[in-house]
Amino acid sequence: MLEFIKQPWPWYFSGLMITVVMLLLLFWGKSFGFSSNLRTICTMTGAGKKLKFFDFNWKTQQWNLLFLLGAIAGGYIASHYLANPADLELSESTIRDLSKLGISFKGGLNPDELFSLEALSQPKTILLLLAGGILVGFGSRYAGGCTSGHAISGLSNLQLPSLVAVIGFFIGGLIMTFFIMPYIF
């Protein structure tokens, strides 16, 4: 059984599981989105006393906090006990494009140039990660949700603002990939 779980699964299995989760959430009248957990955590720590946005009954979001904890626990279990030690496979063109940006591919998920202890000693890396975090936080608040909330939950509920947000995410990703990233690296 363990060998079956450790093997790579087909891409469509994820889609099937997302569909099952979405149907269950719709059945119980809930909507999915990870960024709402940040709002809930801020509310739990008392931010509602200072800002109206955080003034709500956080106990209504306990299910989402459990989902967050489950995702963290599942990621830990998968990476430490079920991980396939084989290197990732990237196309040669992607590896060439990364090397043009000064990013080497060593078979891992995250490039050492950005995600290593040595990289954190460079001010440029710290600035990039800090700016990225600020932009993601601002974007999630401004768009009224994160990519998972809009793309999975919002689109399955046929919400027009989610469609606009998802189109914006894709356009932003293309602009970053082809116009901004080459200048950063």
86-96 pLDDT, tens digit each = 778 889 999 99
Q: Is 41 contained in some domain?
A: yes
What is the C-alpha to C-alpha distance for residues 132 and 120, in angstroms, rounded to an integer?
14
Q: Is 94 contained in some domain?
A: no
Q: Is 121 contained in some domain?
A: no
What is the C-alpha to C-alpha distance for residues 145 and 34, in angstroms, rounded to an integer?
8
The total domain count for the chain is 1
The parent domain of residue 15 ranges over 1-85
Structure confidence at residue 92 (pLDDT):
93
**Once rounded to an integer, what is the mean pLDDT over residues 11-16?**
89
Q: Is 80 contained in some domain?
A: yes
What is the C-alpha to C-alpha distance for residues 38 and 140, in angstroms, rounded to an integer?
10
Contacting residues for 106 by C-beta, under 8 A, at least 6 apart: 87, 112
Structure confidence at residue 59 (pLDDT):
93
pLDDT band, residue 114 (cuts 50/70/90): confident
What is the C-alpha to C-alpha distance for residues 161 and 103, in angstroms, rounded to an integer?
36
Residue 137, CA atoms < 13 Å, CB-side half-sphere: 9
Q: Is 137 contained in some domain?
A: no
**Once rounded to an integer, what is the mean pLDDT over residues 102-106?**
88
Q: Is 15 contained in some domain?
A: yes
Q: Is 66 contained in some domain?
A: yes
Most confident of 79-88, 136-145, 154-163: 154-163
pTM score: 0.70
Q: Is 75 contained in some domain?
A: yes
Structure confidence at residue 72 (pLDDT):
93
Residue 53, CA atoms < 13 Å, CB-side half-sphere: 8
Most confident of 107-116, 146-155, 160-169: 160-169
Sign of CA dihedral 27, 31, 37, 43: negative
What is the C-alpha to C-alpha distance for residues 168 and 185, in angstroms, rounded to an integer?
24
**pLDDT over 90 at 151, yes or no:** no
Q: What is the DSSP letter of 55?
A: -
What is the C-alpha to C-alpha distance for residues 76 and 127, in angstroms, rounded to an integer?
27
